Structure 1
Amino acid sequence: MATKVREIMTGSPTSVSPELDIVTVARAMRDEDIGAVLVSDGDDLMGLVTDRDLVIRGLAAGGDPAQVKIGGIASRPTATIGPDDSLDKAAQIMRERAVRRLPVLEDGRAVGIVTLGDLAMEKDEVSALADISAARPNA
């Protein structure tokens, strides 16, 4: 059984420039079949954007989606975790901060993302969340 974040995280997370428009980022998320991207300026993590953020903060806010910059709708990372931190610490941070995704930083650089679903599949594999998280996308 895994005990460290690095054992369950998604490595090599997709990172985008804050200057990209939301349409470009949405297409990248579609093409890569992912629900979240990190927003970075070089190695500096500026935030995280989910598919829900694209809809709520991007499209529903109005304006031309080809002109709205992803940096303007990104959630600032309220918390991060290290790859050698424990899964219990990740769960505690998620609970305290009410977040479902944690960027994983090593030496100040993003090396992964760990999600609530990742934790569920590892810690409680018979839970409904683990079943949903393990299922193939219905695309």
Structure 2
Amino acid sequence: MPTAREIMTPNAECVNADETLVDAAQKMARLDVGSLPICGTDNRLKGMLTDRDIVVKVLAQGRDPKDCTAGELAQGEAVTIGADDDAREILRTMASHKVRRLPVIDGHDLIGMVALADVAKALPDAPVGDLMDAVTTD
């Protein structure tokens, strides 16, 4: 069974908690991603920021993304996966938290991101179909 380390996208870039959402959106556009891990000044993971967060929690509320920081949208403890956790654990974690992307942590260091697509490529169809059902239903 492959591990997170084996199927992740390495070298994930963070958005700093004190960066504006305009900066975060520009970084997302440059990297062609829909989410970024939020890291604090201590280089620890503070949460995840998605393009949807920016739209729903800022733009739709009439707030100015130049006046909001990524850290303001970090909610609680980020859901992560250990670098040596296997694909079954990735599936369980994604399903139980209804997420499609997980930061991969080695100790306290962010070393990559694993997405649903990464798991789908690494596993047979049946477990991935079950995960899709879990993350897309309320």
Instruction: Tell me if both proteins adopt one fold, taking TM over 0.5 as the criterion.
Output: yes
Match of 2:101 in 1: 101
Name the Cα RMSD after superposition: 2.2
Query: How big is the shift at 1:58?
Result: 2.2
Aligned pairs (5 A) from 1:8-27 = 8-27=7-26
Q: Sequence identity of aligned pairs in percent?
A: 33
In structure 2, distance between residues paired with 1:9 and 1:77: 21
Distance 1:39 1:116, change over 3 A: same
Match of 2:133 in 1: none
Residue type of the partner of 1:20? E
Aligned pairs (5 A) from 1:2-81 = 3-41=2-40, 42-81=42-81
Name the SS for the 2:37 alignment partner: strand
In structure 2, distance between residues paired with 1:122 and 1:116: 10
Unaligned runs of 5+ in 2: 130-138
Query: How big is the shift at 1:34?
Result: 1.3
Moved more, 109-118 or 68-77: 68-77
In structure 2, distance between residues paired with 1:64 and 1:76: 23
In structure 2, distance between residues paired with 1:9 and 1:50: 18
In structure 1, distance between residues paired with 2:26 and 2:37: 15
In structure 1, distance between residues paired with 2:125 and 2:19: 37
Unaligned runs of 5+ in 1: 130-139
In structure 2, distance between residues paired with 1:94 and 1:117: 12
More helix by share: 2
In structure 2, distance between residues paired with 1:45 and 1:65: 21
Q: Stretches of 4+ moved more than 6 A in 1?
A: none
CA contact (8 A) 2:16 2:38 kept: yes
Query: How big is the shift at 1:77?
Result: 4.2
CA contact (8 A) 2:47 2:74 kept: yes
CA contact (8 A) 2:45 2:78 kept: no
* Count of residue pairs the alignment pairs up: 128
Distance 1:13 1:75, change over 3 A: farther
